[in-house]
Chain A
Amino acid sequence: MLKRLTFAQVYLLLAVLLAGAVVASAGIGAFTFSPAEMLRYLGEAAGWMSAPASDTLGRNVFLELRLPRVVLAGVTGAVLGVSGTIMQGLFRNPIVEPGLAGTSAGAAFGAALVFVLGEKTTLAFTAPLGALAVPVLAFVGAFAATMLVYRVSTSFGKVNVFTLLLAGIAVNAVCSAGTGFLSYIARDPQARNITFWNLGTFTTASWRGTVLVSVAFLLCFAWALRHGKSLNALMLGEDEAAALGIDPAGLILRLIILNTIMVAVDTAMVGVIAFIGLVVPHMLRMMKSADYTFLLPASALFGALLMECIDIVARLVISPAELPIGIITAVVGAPVFLYILLRQQRSGGAFYG
Chain B
Amino acid sequence: MVEVRGVHYRVNDAHILRDVSVAFRPGRFNVILGPNGAGKSTLLKVATGLLAPTEGEVRFDGRDLRELGADTLARRRAVLSQHVELAFPLSVQDVVLMGRYPHYRRVPTARDRDIVDRALAIVDMTHKRAQAYPTLSGGEQQKVQLARVLAQIWNYDAPDGDKVLFLDEPTSSLDVHYQLHLLDVARELLGFHCTVIAVLHDLNVALQYGDAFVVLEDGRVAEATDDPNLISASLLERVFKVRARRLTDPESGDTFWRFRL
State the A residues within 8 Å of B (CB). Answer: 92-94, 229, 232-233, 235-237, 239-240, 242-247, 285, 289-291, 349-353
Interface string of B40-76 (1 = CB under 8 A from A): 0000010010100000000000000000001101110
Chain B neighbourhood of A237, CB < 8 A = 84
Taking a contact as CB atoms under 8 Å apart, the answer to whether B101 and A352 are in contact is: no
Check A245/B90 contact, CB under 8 A, given A236-B84, A240-B81.
Answer: no
Q: Pick the residue among A232, A289, A353 that contacts B134 (CB under 8 A).
A: A353
Taking a contact as CB atoms under 8 Å apart, the answer to whether A236 and B98 are in contact is: yes
A-B contacts, 14 of them at CB < 8 A, read A232-B101, A235-B87, A236-B86, A237-B84, A240-B79, A243-B74, A243-B77, A244-B74, A349-B87, A350-B87, A351-B88, A351-B134, A353-B89, A353-B135
Check A290/B88 contact, CB under 8 A, given A244-B102, A350-B134.
Answer: yes
In the assembled complex, B142 has its CB within 8 A of some CB on chain A: no
Taking a contact as CB atoms under 8 Å apart, the answer to whether A244 and B98 are in contact is: yes
Chain B neighbourhood of A229, CB < 8 A = 98, 101
Chain B neighbourhood of A236, CB < 8 A = 84, 86, 95, 98
In the assembled complex, B175 has its CB within 8 A of some CB on chain A: no
In the assembled complex, B174 has its CB within 8 A of some CB on chain A: no
User: A73 CB to closest chain B CB, in angstroms?
Assistant: 28
The 4 closest A-B pairs by CB, nearest first: A245-B74, A352-B89, A243-B79, A290-B88
User: B46 CB to closest chain A CB, in angstroms?
Assistant: 13
Taking a contact as CB atoms under 8 Å apart, the answer to whether A245 and B85 are in contact is: no
Query: How distant is the Cα of A156 from the Cα of B106 in the complex, in angstroms?
Result: 30
Chain A neighbourhood of B95, CB < 8 A = 236
Which residue of chain A has its CB nearest to the CB of B148? A236
Chain B neighbourhood of A247, CB < 8 A = 70
User: A237 CB to closest chain B CB, in angstroms?
Assistant: 6
Query: How distant is the Cα of A314 from the Cα of B109 in the complex, in angstroms?
Result: 46
Taking a contact as CB atoms under 8 Å apart, the answer to whether B89 and A285 are in contact is: yes
Taking a contact as CB atoms under 8 Å apart, the answer to whether B87 and A92 are in contact is: yes
Number of A-B contacts (CB under 8 A): 78
Taking a contact as CB atoms under 8 Å apart, the answer to whether A244 and B152 are in contact is: yes
Query: How distant is the Cα of A210 from the Cα of B197 in the complex, in angstroms?
Result: 56
User: A232 CB to closest chain B CB, in angstroms?
Assistant: 6
User: B148 CB to closest chain A CB, in angstroms?
Assistant: 8
Chain B neighbourhood of A243, CB < 8 A = 48, 50, 74, 77-79
Query: How distant is the Cα of A285 from the Cα of B87 in the complex, in angstroms?
Result: 12
Chain A neighbourhood of B77, CB < 8 A = 243
Taking a contact as CB atoms under 8 Å apart, the answer to whether B88 and A239 are in contact is: no
Query: How distant is the Cα of A239 from the Cα of B87 in the complex, in angstroms?
Result: 16
In the assembled complex, B94 has its CB within 8 A of some CB on chain A: yes
Check A291/B98 contact, CB under 8 A, given A244-B152, A352-B134.
Answer: no
Q: Pick the residue among B81, B88, B102 that contacts A352 (CB under 8 A).
A: B88
User: B226 CB to closest chain A CB, in angstroms?
Assistant: 27
In the assembled complex, B20 has its CB within 8 A of some CB on chain A: no
Chain A neighbourhood of B84, CB < 8 A = 236-237, 240
Taking a contact as CB atoms under 8 Å apart, the answer to whether A235 and B70 are in contact is: no
Taking a contact as CB atoms under 8 Å apart, the answer to whether A290 and B85 are in contact is: no
Taking a contact as CB atoms under 8 Å apart, the answer to whether B87 and A94 are in contact is: yes
| Interface members, chain B 1-59 (any A CB < 8 Å) | 45, 48, 50
Query: How distant is the Cα of A229 from the Cα of B99 in the complex, in angstroms?
Result: 11
In the assembled complex, B132 has its CB within 8 A of some CB on chain A: yes
Query: How distant is the Cα of A289 from the Cα of B85 in the complex, in angstroms?
Result: 17
Chain A neighbourhood of B89, CB < 8 A = 285, 290, 351-353
Query: How distant is the Cα of A150 from the Cα of B95 in the complex, in angstroms?
Result: 26
Query: How distant is the Cα of A244 from the Cα of B99 in the complex, in angstroms?
Result: 7
* Apart from the given pairs A239-B79, A289-B94, A351-B87, 13 other A-B contacts in the complex at a CB distance below 8 Å: A235-B90, A239-B50, A240-B79, A243-B77, A243-B78, A245-B70, A245-B75, A290-B88, A290-B90, A349-B87, A351-B88, A352-B88, A353-B134
Which residue of chain A has its CB nearest to the CB of B135? A353
